[in-house]
Structure 1
Amino acid sequence: MAEVLVNDFDKIFNLLKKAQRPLILIGNGVYISQAVPVFRDLIDQCQLPCVSSLPALGALPSDHPLSFSFVGHTGEFFANLALFYSDLLLALGVRLDLRQTGSEIKDFKTNKKVVRVDIDKGELDFSRIEGDINIQMDLKEFLSRFSEYLKGKKESFSYQNWLAKIKGWEKELNSSRFYQGKALNMYQVIKAVDDITKNRQVVVSSGVGTHQQLVARCFSFDYPRRIWLTSAGHGTMGFDIPVNIGAMLESKPNTLGIVFVGDGSFQMNTQELATIEEYRLPIKIFVLDNSRLGIVSQFQKLNWKRDPSTGNKHNPSFSAIAKAYGLKGYDISSSEKIVPILKEVFADDSPALVHCKVDYNEDVLPMLMGGQKLNEMYPFEEVPL
């Protein structure tokens, strides 16, 4: 085993020396294997740009100069471009599934070498994306051994032209451009909550849908100080409040729970407000109410120009429901109210719910559609290297 591993390390090392556009794609395996510290050490050693799967956000701090958000169906376009045009991909603890690569993978490996590390042999043997080097191993063990191997090589790596290219895409194609309207929208609320809690230790959870993707895009994560909990590919509506309750029951003192939830997801487990009140948990819930089941509604409108089964929902006063359970309840219906109400909400750590009546027409943009490659996310045209 040791000889085989050293042989693989030699191959990876030589690929790193030859590569012009290397990239790390980190997956949830980094959390499962408790490998975050050694993963960050490797990033610093190799100076490799990094993109993430949805659940792995925070493994590298969002504000780290080598961190470029998450990839896939609803990921950032600049992250997808980095993934598509990389000439060496280190896929670490990640499945490379349909939601990450898109459905059109014919050109995914063009001029690209793929190194895969996964503890699950089945993921390596039956993947849609074939690895050039496959290593079946616990990710923490791999990262520790490879880091020690690199120390012996005393090699420095620099990919400044490639980093400049990714940063240029990030500046030009960041999804924030789609959410600058005057009407109250999810992006504004999420960003404001992120800003006001920058110095707090938080556990953030989400439901499923439009709000989930926007939290992933614009909230800043940094494990273990700012933790992200989402059901990711399982797509479980109602995951949001219960998982935050569980996390807060076991969290360190002065940790704050933040729940972002859509009006659809919220009504799956509304009764858990009673649990929050019973234990007086420091959880702040933001119901991002667009009166629709956003992601499905968006698909229906794109395909059939209307959303008869998922749009125009009539919702009750969620803040009144919160008050009935004993929580503080607030309402935000305009952009001007965000900051003053958030200051009141975060003035103490008592449980509270904020009902945010957001723009009905807010969609997840850009989005990778069926049949598109990673370099042509809707509504953009194909972006060349």
Structure 2
Amino acid sequence: MRHPFTYKLTALLFALLLLLPTADCMLGLSVSFENTENRQRLRRPVFEFPHVMRYKRDFEAYYKQTFGWRDALFQVYSRWKLFVLGQSPLPEKVVIGRQGWFFLGNSENRVMDQHRGLLPWPADSLTNLLTHLHHRQAELARYHSQLIVVVPPDAQSVYSEYLPEQLVNPHRPSRLDVLHRHISRLPGIHFIDLRDTLQAAKRRYQLYYQTDTHWNNVGSLVSCAALMKHLHRLNARLPVVDSSAYTITPSPGFGGDLVRMIGLQQRIKDPLYYNVQRTDGRSLPPPDTLSQRYGSPYPILRFTGTDCSQPRLLFVGDSFSLFVMQYLPHYFSESIFVRDCRLDARLLNAVKPDIVVFEVVERNINLLSQL
């Protein structure tokens, strides 16, 4: 029979465990453990009578995200799942690939199902998208602007050999395959599918981060060269980008957004990172920030080039566009970058661009219908 002291000690420890979450909320004991799951933390809801049930629902969602020691417990759980069991702590968010590669999971627009051809275009969706782009091109033609559509592939479309065996493409056409086949029949729209270009270039350089959802500096440089080659055929004044104009230097990497989602960015670093610099040392002045009256949630950046005789560029894109800002502005008289999925007519009137590039990553190609 156990000694009464053992019972008292067990009860005391149990009570302390029950009090720890409350103590953490009041004193911030676990503040050093960062929430890195790539989602916006909910705010504490405000009670408004008579909306009792709505408050109950909102508070429950808030508490599940913020209860005491949650972030610390999640990091312990992530390490145990990955390093001990060899499994993803959040398999719908992050897929653990081979040889240190991580990939985005199905929680983001069912990206893996798209890649494997298991998520075909909904009925009439592709037709409506193509019709929308055709109308958009006709509208831009009135401004004497040319529409270029660029789709950076997801990492699994370039490095599919590192996917886990159960997620290898079963040879069904992906959404991007189907879109490419149909959009090439539309007159006046220039569609740039970068998959073949990147597949060829990866023999020499690593083009995507192993722990992040984006291409790296070399991947974006290779893609910019492909874009400029296409634009040169449309406008001979624009130069072809010569890779010898840049020096590429390997350097230690960092933990990308995929390992941040599972709280392991301090334990897992990207093994390879590239610094890319122009060999002539030329740099452009810092960009101006245009007024936010055009409705974009992000700053609209304007770069001024060195040759005022060159065309004007309006680049509308997602986070992948942040990588190309270091290259493209050198080749245009003026470059305006909008991080958005929409093209505001007021901005179009103000800029009057010669070339409009709309860039959207493969997993979000449905957003082409919002341009």
Structure number with bigger Rg: 2
Q: Same fold (TM over 0.5)?
A: no
What TM-score does the superposition give when structure 2 sets the normalisation length? Answer: 0.26
